[in-house]
Structure 1
Amino acid sequence: MHPMLNIAVRAARNAGQVIVKGFANPDNTETRAKGQNDFVTNVELDAENAVVNTLRKSYPEHTIIGEECGELTGSNPDYQWVVDALDGTANFIHGIPHFAVSIALRVKGRTEQAVVYDPIRDELFTASRGAGAQLNGYRIRTGKAKDLTTAVLATGFPAKQKHHVDAYLGMFKDLFVQSSDIRRAGAPSLDLAYVAAGRVDGYWELGLKPWDFAAGSLIAREAGSIVTDFVGGHNFEQSGNLVCANPKVLKIMLSTIREHLPESLSN
Structure 2
Amino acid sequence: MLGSANQNVMIKATRAAGRSLVKDFREVENLQVSSKGAGDFVSKAIISSETIMRDMLVEARPTYGWLGKDGKEVEGADPTRRWIVSGLDGVTNFLHGLPHWAVSVALEHKGEIVSCVVFDPAKGELFWAEKGAGAWMNDTRIRVSGRTKLHEGLFATGLPNGGQSDLPDTLRDLARILPACAGVRRWGAASLDLAFVAAGRFDGYWERRMKPWDIAAGLLLVKEAGGFVEPIVKTNNMVDDGEVICANEALFDRFATIIRSA
Same fold, judged at TM 0.5 (above): yes
Structure 2 partner of 1:236: 238
- Counterparts of residues 175-190 of structure 1 (less than 5 Å): 175-190=177-192
Greater Cα shift, 65-74 or 160-169: 160-169
Judged with a 3 Å threshold, the aligned counterparts in structure 2 of structure 1 residues 161 and 128 are, in CA distance, closer, same or farther, namely: farther
For the Cα contact (< 8 Å) 1:99–1:187, is it kept in 2? yes
- Displacement of 1:192 after TM fit? 0.3
Report the structure, 1 or 2, having the larger strand content.
1
Match of 1:249 among 245, 248, 251: 251
- Counterparts of residues 21-36 of structure 1 (less than 5 Å): 21-26=23-28, 27=31, 30-32=38-40
The one-character-per-residue Cα deviations of 1:48-86 (angstroms, maximum 9, x if unpaired) are 000001101111111111012622332112110000010
Structure 1 partner of 2:227: 225
- Displacement of 1:248 after TM fit? 2.4
For the Cα contact (< 8 Å) 2:93–2:99, is it kept in 1? yes
Q: Which amino acid aligns with 1:175?
A: I
Match of 1:61 among 57, 60, 63: 63
The one-character-per-residue Cα deviations of 1:191-239 (angstroms, maximum 9, x if unpaired) are 0000000001000111011111110000110000111111455622232
Q: Which amino acid aligns with 2:199?
A: A
> CA–CA distance in 2 between the matches of 1:103 and 1:133?
15
- Counterparts of residues 117-196 of structure 1 (less than 5 Å): 117-159=119-161, 162-196=164-198
Q: CA RMSD in A?
A: 1.8
The one-character-per-residue Cα deviations of 1:96-139 (angstroms, maximum 9, x if unpaired) are 11000010001121111100000101100000000000000110
State the identity %: 38
> CA–CA distance in 1 between the matches of 2:43 and 2:202?
29
> CA–CA distance in 2 between the matches of 1:30 and 1:51?
23
Moved over 3 A (4+): 231-234
> CA–CA distance in 2 between the matches of 1:69 and 1:196?
27
For the Cα contact (< 8 Å) 1:126–1:134, is it kept in 2? yes
Q: Which amino acid aligns with 1:242?
A: V
For the Cα contact (< 8 Å) 2:38–2:95, is it kept in 1? no
Matched, 1:44 2:52: no
Structure 2 partner of 1:263: none
Give the match's secondary structure for 2:80. strand
Greater Cα shift, 99-108 or 245-254: 245-254
Q: TM-score, normalised by structure 2?
A: 0.92
> CA–CA distance in 2 between the matches of 1:207 and 1:40?
23
> CA–CA distance in 2 between the matches of 1:165 and 1:119?
30
Q: TM-score, normalised by structure 1?
A: 0.90
The one-character-per-residue Cα deviations of 1:154-205 (angstroms, maximum 9, x if unpaired) are 1111338622322211111211111001110000000000000000100011
Match of 2:10 among 8, 11, 16: 8
How many residue pairs get aligned? The number is 254
- Counterparts of residues 63-102 of structure 1 (less than 5 Å): 63-68=65-70, 70-102=72-104
Unaligned regions of 5+ residues in structure 1, if any? 33-38, 261-267
